[in-house]
Amino acid sequence: MSLLFNQKNNLCDGGVQLLRSQCRSVVMEAPSYLRLLFLLLFVLRIDMYVGGTEDLMGFILMFPFLSAEDKEKQRALIVQKATSRYFPVYEKVLKDHGQDFLVGNSFSWADVHLLEAILMVEEKKSDVLSSFPQLQAFKRRISSIPTIKKFLEPGSQRKPVPDDKYVETVRRVLRMYYDIKAN
């Protein structure tokens, strides 16, 4: 399994690479049963793809707390990272295995996480997927799943984009009286 998102390699044993994804380390001893090994690889792929979207979302989560000047810099950074580092990986994965979902042919947390990352980046630049036809099709497929479709409709439980009132409340509650700077 190659390091898709330039993660740091914690351990390489017999060709199996165990990765550090942010603050978590996954240390597993692979069982000798092929069926369980396949399941392990399935779970590790999901974890790897979710790790990539978490990294991308990390650039977006602090966005509402930035100054107006820093927001423009961060917006450009978010779009640049998404289009040059993250989205090309997902585009290739979807194209190479030809399935409807990221891992195998079943809906997983990785699919939900990627859809949310796409929607978050589209809030910063609406045509960000214009160069990624596989991701456009993926977004359409996942968004048409009845429960996801209902969740994305106006009036659902989906939280809106944080506004100034939200930022002020968070700063007051968490006593964040300092300025956050862009990366």
Domains (range + CATH), the chain: 8-174 (1.20.1050.10)
**Of 16-30, 55-69, 104-118, 139-153, which gets the smallest average pLDDT?**
16-30
Query: Could you read off the pLDDT of 84-132 as tens digits, one per residue?
Result: 999 999 999 999 988 999 998 889 999 999 999 999 999 999 999 999 9
d(C-alpha 86, C-alpha 54), whole Å: 11
What are the backbone angles phi and psi of residue 99, rounded to the nearest 5°? -100, 170
d(C-alpha 170, C-alpha 144), whole Å: 33
3-state secondary structure of 8: strand
Q: Report which of 33, 61, 136 is spatially closest to residue 94, judged by C-alpha positions.
A: 136
Q: Which helix (H) or strand (E) holds 64?
A: none
Query: Could you read off the pLDDT of 99-110 as tens digits, one per residue?
Result: 999 998 889 999
Q: Report which of 173, 179, 157, 177 is spatially closest to residue 62, judged by C-alpha positions.
A: 179
Q: What is the pTM of this model?
A: 0.75
| Residues of the chain above pLDDT 70, percent | 75
Q: Report which of 172, 105, 107, 182 is spatially closest to residue 143, judged by C-alpha positions.
A: 107
Residue 12 — pLDDT band, cuts 50, 70, 90?
A: very low
Q: Starting at the edge strand that comes first in sequence, how are the strands of the sheet with 16-21 ordered?
A: 8-13, 16-21, 24-25
CB neighbour list of residue 108: distance below 8 Å, 6 or more residues apart: 46, 101, 102
Q: Report which of 3, 107, 101, 92 is spatially closest to residue 55, judged by C-alpha positions.
A: 3
